[in-house]
Amino acid sequence: METLFCSTDENNLRKSDKVFKRAAEIIKRGGLVAFPTETVYGLGANALNSRAVKKIYEAKGRPSDNPLIVHIASLPELKGIAEEVSPKAEKLIDAFWPGPLTIIFKKKSIIPDETSGGLDTVAVRFPENAAARYFIRACGVPIAAPSANTSGKPSPTSAKHVLNDLNGKIDMIIDGGEAEFGLESTIVSAVGEEITLLRPGSVTVDMLKEVVGEINIDKTILTKPDENLRPLAPGMKYKHYSPLCNITIVKGEREKAVKYMAELGEKSKAEGEKAGIITTEEDRAFFENRGLTLLDLGRESDPETIAARLFKVLRTCDDLHLSCAFIKAFPEKGIGLAIMNRLKKAAGYNITEAR
């Protein structure tokens, strides 16, 4: 299979009409189209067509018990797929849709088991990205889409990442430039009266609380999941976001942490490894002129830039064939909770205290 690579005209999406028409034809005949969203690129299929959805699992190498998010392009579509929308869910929809928040509802039977991973619930997202909305609208059906990466790899934040992972396995990639947020959507369950956070993202705990009051937080967001502690979002239990490169997170007060990172990097280098330091702009000067490969993450004072670049930097570790890389831990508050959640998984929970 040849994968069709199509760019959109960012400034005038109307000009890209042909691209979206072509994409919609592919979706209608049960094919797979990767498309941009403001979080990460998605790999889309008709959410109501179980045969099409099965192809997503094949292309990604994704376990079939891991449900997909269903994407819509207008609010009225929600009624067609969700059985009940609680008052708190209504408030979240008002506050955050369209945007990087996925909400889980009891599902209607129109959603096939293949899409919901056999669960009686469905995860729904209304993306803000204009190209995503054009695409979904052109298709005229809800679009099931996981992140458009090979299962286990960091999520794709550019069309090039998608091409690297899925070239020849999918029908088309719509290139809409770099993803704005760079981390997958925040996921909450709104089944029943309560709101429970299943995956942290750019819509932070504080932002959610401001709208609905107290929320529950799945314990596995903070700690390593195991046999006794299973995440409520099935996908969060799998090895995730992992480059081949060995990532070590260094914890501790700033000066101690950067010193220790440099020491670890230099030691690895002396042992013949190709070592990298993933650094913030603020810390960069400290690591220069040591013969270590430096990867720029963004500004610590502006953690959104770090969130936006994290997956790209993790992929760059592999592009540069680094065998190991060291990165400082970030405070687990605000967007930092999502950054650390992804980072811990990328590092296989390899965290060390600066000495």
248 makes contact with Mg ion (CB under 5 A): no
Work out whether 67 is an interface residue with ligand TXA (CB under 6 A).
Answer: yes
Q: How would you write the chain as a 3-class SS string?
A: CCCEEEECCCCCHHHHHHHHHHHHHHHHCCCCEEECCCCCCEEEEECCCHHHHHHHHHHHCCCCCCCCEEECCCCCHHHHHECCCCHHHHHHHHHHCCCCEEEEEEECCCCCHHHHCCCCEEEEECCCCHHHHHHHHHHCCCEECCECCCCCCCCCCCHHHHHHHHCCCCCEEEECCCCCCCCCCEEEECCCCCCEEEECCCCCHHHHHHHHCCCEECHHHCCCCCCCCCCCCHHHHCCCCCCCCEEEEEECCHHHHHHHHHHHHHHHHHCCCCEEEEEECCCHHHHCCCCCEEEEEECCCCHHHHHHHHHHHHHHHHHCCCCEEEEECCCCCCCHHHHHHHHHHHCCCCEEECC
* Choice between 113 and 273, CB closer to ligand TXA: 113
Q: Is 170 in the site for ligand TXA (CB under 6 A)?
A: no
Residue of the chain from 116, 158, 202, 293 that contacts ligand TXA (CB under 6 A): 116
Residue nearest to Mg ion according to CB distances in the complex? 147
Report if residue 315 touches ligand TXA, rule: CB under 6 A: no
Within 250-309, the residues that bind ligand TXA by CB under 6 A are none
Stretch that binds Mg ion, among 8-16, 140-148, 218-226, 261-269 (CB under 5 A): 140-148
Q: Which positions from 24 through 53 interact with ligand TXA, judged by CB under 6 A?
A: 37, 39-40, 42
147 binds Mg ion (CB under 5 A): yes
CB of 236 to ligand TXA, least distance (A): 5
Q: Which stretch binds Mg ion (CB under 5 A): 86-94, 117-125, 141-149, 185-193?
A: 141-149
Question: Binding to ligand TXA by residue 203, rule CB under 6 A?
Answer: no
228-247: which residues touch ligand TXA (CB under 6 A)?
232-236
